[in-house]
Chains A and B, each alone.
Chain A
Amino acid sequence: EAGVTQFPSHSVIEKGQTVTLRCDPISGHDNLYWYRRVMGKEIKFLLHFVKESKQDESGMPNNRFLAERTGGTYSTLKVQPAELEDSGVYFCASSRMDSNNDEQFFGPGTRLTVL
């Protein structure tokens, strides 16, 4: 079983530019989550999809961030325009819909650097 994959692994952009991160969850996992870790801080929840629907986006920092999951498969997270404080590692995780223990499988993350 392939794990959660994320692309790109690293991205370096300048302030004001746009970046799109992609996450491919484990096949058959209806739950998809985005998390972020900024330097020196803990991993923080951004949002949660159930299939193509946003279940909870309470962790999204502001309206410069837009997440989509068209068709309920892969998801994208767009940052537009990027600011310096958006730098960090963006993790995607997925889990089964019927999981009793809600085991979330994490991807390797995308390291975003905004200059």
Chain B
Amino acid sequence: DAKTTQPPSMDCAEGRAANLPCNHSTISGNEYVYWYRQIHSQGPQYIIHGLKNNETNEMASLIITEDRKSSTLILPHATLRDTAVYYCIVRLNNAGNMLTFGGGTRLMVKP
């Protein structure tokens, strides 16, 4: 799986958009970008994933650059409950393929 680079920490004001960047310059053409988050003391939780196109669901939006070498996870209206560690992972979408977690970004949403 391709390696990813994320800032170790970020702050965001409650109610504002949180934009979490991820660099994956060695991503291959058939690797997907996945985002997970881990709220304190809980297991990681799936947020969103994409291959080439931008994606949106009820939790977040994922913006992938045209060259696919970087992406941004957007939480449009961050709440205090969004405080967590966010992991960007690139992987093949094969059956049973494992997830490899890096250090992630610790997002602190402040009142």
Tell whether A pairs with B: no
Task: Give A contacts to B, CB under 8 Å.
Answer: none
